[in-house]
Chains A and B, each alone.
Chain A
Amino acid sequence: MEQYKLFIDGEFVDAKDGKTFESIDPGTGLPFATVAKAGKADAEAAIAAARRAFDKGDWSGLDVSARIAKLQDFADQISRQGVRMVMTECMDAGQIVGYAKIIVMWSSLLLRNLATYAATKFPWEEEVLASGNAFTPGREFVRREPVGVCVGIVPWNFPTTLAMWKIAPALIIGNTIVVKPASNTPLTAVILAEAAQAAGIPKGVFNVIPGPGGELGKTLCTHPDVDKIAFTGSTEVGREIMRMASDTVKRVTLELGGKSANIILDDADMDLAVEGAVFGTFLHQGQICESGTRVLVPSKIYDEFLDKMKERAEALRIGYQLDPTSHMGPVVSKEQLATVEHYVKLGKEEGAQLVTGGKRVEVKGMEGGYYYAPTIFANVNNKMRIAQEEIFGPVVCVIKYDSDEEAVAIANDSIYGLAGGVFSSNIARAERVARAVRTGTMWINNFHVFAEYCPFGGYKQSGVGRELGHWGLEEYTQVKRIHVPYYSDRNTNFGFTLLSDNKKIEGFNYNCPTNVIAGHGCLSAIYKVIVDLGCRRAMILTDPGVRKAGLADLVKNTLVDFCVGIYDNIPPDPDLESVDGAVDKARELKADCIVSVGGGSVIDAGKTVCVALKNGGKANDYINRWWALSEPQTPHIVVPTTAGTGSEVTNAAVITDKIAERKLFIADPKITPNAAILDPRFTMTLPKDMTVGSAMDAMTHAIEAVTSTMANQICDGQAFHAIRLISENLPLVVADGKNEKARLNMQIAATMAGWSFTIAQVGLAHCMAHTVGTLHHVPHGAACGIVLPHVMRFNVDHAAGKLALVAQALGIDTKGMNERDAALAAADAVEALMKKVGHPMRLRDVGVPEEDLFRCSLHAIADSNILFNARPVSDPMDVYNIYRQAY
């Protein structure tokens, strides 16, 4: 008899206690090889070797291409052992030779192909282009690294293939592995070790320890140096492995039992379905986890199907596995044979009808072999134990059903969910059924089809994780995120400010890419701008008032044939539903560009429409997301009809969420409009109250930007000039709405204020304004104006220098004033300007109920802009007091 040894640390060795065991040929019942029997000490030695090899880095630290090249050598060496491996697999596991030669060859191909995939397509490093963190920009990337020392516990039904399912991904990723083959079938794993040694796989990277699972399992599954366990076997043992592994929190993948349903639909090709049922059940004597051992057949074809299946099963030739004419060989052991007999007996006791089989088969000249006839039970109730428990032998239950829904319900009535099949001449119908079955694999008009790039694994108690393909490789990786910030500076680290009294952020990233075109008649530029953006189908987005004023049609006429339609149903403070309506229209029109003609509400809706158009879904899918977009959105051109929001150049959109009672944001550089056309003709008809309100919105942007913790010199420059322009020009446009020069200056001021707060952010005044806008429908600009002077006074001791400069921009002569007084004078000047232009001065004037001020303060303090306010705000009573002052 051939003698096989353990393979530990690159050497073939005897067990430390010298024990051996015999491997039995199930076709004869006779031993044909002896194998060293590993014990606890051998398992510990193998784990130690694997640990040393991993930590040394000769394998895990290899360049991927070098490691893959070595594995290609390994695959070649397996091929060289091909005939020996096929013969050994047959004699060890009882596989018929016609099958063994395919799947053993596949083991080599699997290794080669997965290795090539890993070398060429596996994402060893991935960039996270949009991190979702607005405060700490930088490079974010993910590395895939090996887990460490893996243990592969292999079953006896496919000893070579299922060993390779674990060895290949483990080694490809850079892990080391200890393989424990099944005691019934230990030999081919040792031959794989010979191939590995011949290929020069470094010592300790690959170890094989045949031996009893009950004895070795505890060591393998609890040893602290083991990082991952991959097990294929029974659910009972898998459950115990999972429990043991939990003590040291090992990664676990489990491929466990199954009781798969093979659903024959009433329109199936009868001959194909019968063949599929026979193949799905009796291949390898039914000793396959995913075997379709519950064949579900419609009542109206049940008898015909059963007759044909019986005829086909009885035609299968049972013989010695190395006889090339055999269709079925022996089951793997006498214990397995006894188990099959036990379940057949149980089936009869449960009242199932034995249609054929149900007995041992004697093969001439092989009287000691473990042969069993293909067995069919009819009239099986799915609750019977033979329908619920895996038998792992050539025994099938044929179950009757009356509708597709009933078939799915029966299929799902199992603790398992490993695989299944559907046979139908209607692929769409078959796919509907396949989708409804809770299982890891579904084959349509086929069964037992595996491929190295397709995942395999179970739902429910059939397992955890997946083997094969990309998904199988991932199971052997650790994911490491690496963050490299824009700024390596303690004063530009937003997070560090949480533990510091200095909240000021020094560094900044100014990214304001909008193409701004300004001046009388500049609308005509849109005809070129849209071409430059590569667009031909613009949908104009606007509101009913702007449409009525003829402004949207003016844009439409300028776009000539490039306008595919106008959507004019955007309300003030747009909510999710109104945005979704616009998205639906844009999709219907096949728009490739949005042109927003309106104020901030329309432009913000336009930004959101662009995101939904680009990425699919609804507005709700994208709100409250910061820095989450990784590529340019649907092109967006804006033609503002107000001078205030600055939305034409900002990277934020505000949408009302009625359920949350909040205004929620999308904040992302990728939603910044591509072009803004500041043609003063579009603001000439703006009513006085809206002119004033939107101007105070812009004023608030500018003042909150300069006092923000994120303020910087570029933003300051823009903000101070915006303040100056508003202070000088707002009274002029109030006095004469047709003053085109002043209107243009107000547009420019709003745009500059928009640029300033895009980077520097806003603060408490905006938080408070957002709140009363959402809860009490106070126009945003009016709300901003009312609370702004009070917030300026609240902030005075944290932003006195900046506010003093604001005073100067507002035209105050601050000579002789100390900084604090000058800062307070700025607040007074804002109030004076508001009075001059007829702006509402108190919250009571705009419909905010006094009794709701405290609730407003609770909402306002939860607004994200609170983070950037010059003075830290943590107490809602502070906010409440400001509301009261403004009331």
Chain B
Amino acid sequence: MFCPAQTMSLVTLNPGAGHAVKSALAEKGVQGPIRIELRFTGCCDASLGLSMDTAHESDLVEEVDGLTFVISPETHQLVGEVRISYADETGRRGFVLTSSKPVSEWDGFAAGSIRM
């Protein structure tokens, strides 16, 4: 059973982020829920990332700006509300995820792409 978030927001999109997500999905020709997940990119510091995935029964789901985001309850409990922005600067292009309860001290430092 999907569990839509009722009491608090799961995810907030900064201006431009929703459009960037849609563009990325369109470019790859994919559709479906976008998972907000913990991931590890090497030595010491976990971070939050986005991936295309199927929704699991226990997932928390939220529609924002016409996009469906899913997150496991465990991850949501750990990180709180997730804010997604899109960086488009020289040499730095991608999605920057921060959370109300930062997953590491480097929260929001790096930009990443959506795992397809």
B75 close to A234 (CB less than 8 A): no
Q: Mark A313-342, 1 if CB is under 8 A from B, else 0.
A: 000000000000000000000111011011
Interface size of A in residues (CB-CB distance below 8 Å): 43
Query: Which residues of chain B in 58-76 are interfacial with respect to chain A, using CB atoms and an 8 Å cutoff?
Result: 72, 74-75
Shortest C-beta distance, A86 to chain B (Å), equals 21
Q: Which of A816-865 contact B (CB under 8 A)?
A: none
Interface mask (A436-468 → B, CB under 8 Å = 1, otherwise 0): 000000000000000000000000011000000
Q: Shortest distance in angstroms between B19's beta carbon and chain A's nearest beta carbon?
A: 23
Given A256-B43, A392-B43, check contact A342 B105 (CB 8 Å): no
Whether the Cβ atoms of A234 and B37 lie closer than 8 Å is no
Q: Which residues of B contact A256 (CB under 8 A)?
A: 42-43
Instruction: Give the residues in chain A near B47, CB-CB below 8 Å.
Output: 234, 236
Return B14 CB to nearest CB of chain A, in Å: 16
Chain B CB within 8 A of A156 CB: yes
What is the minimal beta-carbon distance from B80 to any residue of chain A, in angstroms? 12
A694 contacts the other chain (CB 8 A):
no
B43 lies within 8 A of A257 (CB): yes
Q: Which of A378-403 contact B (CB under 8 A)?
A: 389-392
| Binary CB contact string for chain A from 176 to 200 against chain B (1 if under 8 A, 0 otherwise) | 0000001110000000000000000
Interface flag for A343 (CB, 8 Å): yes
Q: Could you tell me if A342 and B44 are in contact, using CB atoms closer than 8 angstroms?
A: no
Q: How far is the CB of A93 from chain B (nearest CB, A)?
A: 11
Task: Report whether B111 and A235 are in contact in the complex, using a CB–CB cutoff of 8 Å.
Answer: no
Q: What is the distance, in angstroms, from A585's C-beta to the closest C-beta of chain B?
A: 54
Tell me the residues in window 1-56 of chain B with beta carbons closer than 8 Å to chain A beta carbons.
37-47
- A169 CA to B73 CA in the complex, in Å? 46
Contact of A214 among B43, B75, B107 (CB under 8 A): B107
CA distance in complex: A780, B104 (Å):
75
Q: How far is the CB of A60 from chain B (nearest CB, A)?
A: 30
Q: Which of the listed residues A217, A243, A335 has the most CB atoms from chain B within 10 Å of its own CB? A: A335
A255 located at the interface, meaning its Cβ lies under 8 Å from any Cβ of chain B in the complex: yes
Alpha-carbon gap, A239 to B45, bound state (A) = 13
CB distance from B37 to the nearest CB of A (A): 7
Q: B109 and A214: CB pair below 8 A?
A: yes
Q: Is the CB of A343 within 8 A of B40?
A: yes
Q: Does the CB pair A390–B43 fall under 8 Å? A: yes
Contact B74 A257 (CB under 8 A): no
B46 near A336 with CB under 8 A, answer: yes
Q: A298 contacts the other chain (Cβ, under 8 Å)?
A: no
Q: Using known A-B contacts A233-B44, A240-B110, determine if residue A246 contacts B105 with beta carbons closer than 8 Å.
A: no
- B103 touching A217, Cβ below 8 Å: no
Interface readout for B78-116 with A: 1 if CB under 8 Å, 0 if not?
100000000000011000000000111111111110000
Question: Does B91 lie within 8 Å of A234, measured CB to CB?
Answer: no
Number of interface residues of B (CB under 8 A): 28
Q: Is the CB of A339 within 8 A of B111?
A: no
Assess A392 versus B44: contact at CB under 8 Å? Given A239-B110, A334-B78, A338-B78. Answer: yes
- On whether the beta carbons of B43 and A184 are closer than 8 Å, the reply is no
Asked if A155 CB lies within 8 Å of chain B CBs, one says yes
Docked Cα-Cα span, A391 to B46, in Å, equals 9
Distance (Å) between the CB of B45 and the closest chain A CB?
4
Residues of chain B lying within 8 A (CB to CB) of residue A157: 43-44
Interchain CB contact under 8 A, B110 and A236: yes
Instruction: List chain A residues, Cβ under 8 A from B111.
Output: 240
Identify B41's interface contact among A183, A236, A243, A341, CB under 8 A.
Answer: A236
A213 at the interface (CB under 8 A from B): yes
Are the CB atoms of A234 and B74 closer together than 8 Å?
no
Shortest CB distance B4–A (Å): 22
Residue among B44, B75, B107, B108 with max Cβ neighbours from chain A (10 Å)? B44
Contacting pair B105 A184 (CB below 8 A): yes
Contacts of A258 in B (CB 8 A): 42-43
A237 close to B (CB within 8 Å): yes
Given A217-B109, A338-B38, A342-B38: A240 touches B44 (CB 8 Å cut-off): no
| A289 at the binding interface (Cβ < 8 Å) | yes
Given the interface contacts A389-B39, A389-B40, does A212 sit within 8 Å of B110 by beta carbon? no
Chain A contacts of B41 at CB under 8 A?
234-237, 257, 389-390
Among A744-771, those with CB < 8 Å from B are none
- The answer on a CB contact under 8 Å between A234 and B42 is yes
Q: Does A416 contact B (CB under 8 A)?
A: yes
Cα A326 to Cα B37 in complex, Å, equals 32
Chain B residues within 8 Å of A233, by CB: 42-45, 106
Q: Could you tell me if A390 and B91 are in contact, using CB atoms closer than 8 angstroms? A: no
Q: How far is the CA of A760 from the CA of B93 in the complex (A)?
A: 61
Taking a contact as CB atoms under 8 Å apart, the answer to whether A155 and B45 are in contact is yes
The listed residue with most B CB atoms (<10 A of its CB), out of A246, A258, A336, is A336
Q: Which of B42, B46, B104, B107 has the most CB of A within 10 A?
A: B42
Contacts A/B (CB < 8 Å), 18 sampled:
A157-B43, A212-B105, A212-B106, A213-B104, A232-B44, A233-B45, A233-B106, A236-B41, A236-B106, A237-B45, A246-B91, A289-B43, A335-B46, A335-B104, A339-B46, A343-B40, A390-B43, A392-B40
11 extra interface residue pairs, beta carbon distance < 8 Å, beyond A235-B43, A243-B91: A157-B44, A183-B105, A213-B109, A233-B44, A234-B45, A237-B41, A238-B42, A240-B110, A258-B43, A289-B43, A335-B46
Q: A interface vs B, CB < 8 Å?
A: 155-157, 182-184, 212-214, 217-218, 232-240, 243, 246, 255-258, 287, 289, 334-336, 338-339, 341-343, 389-392, 416, 461-462
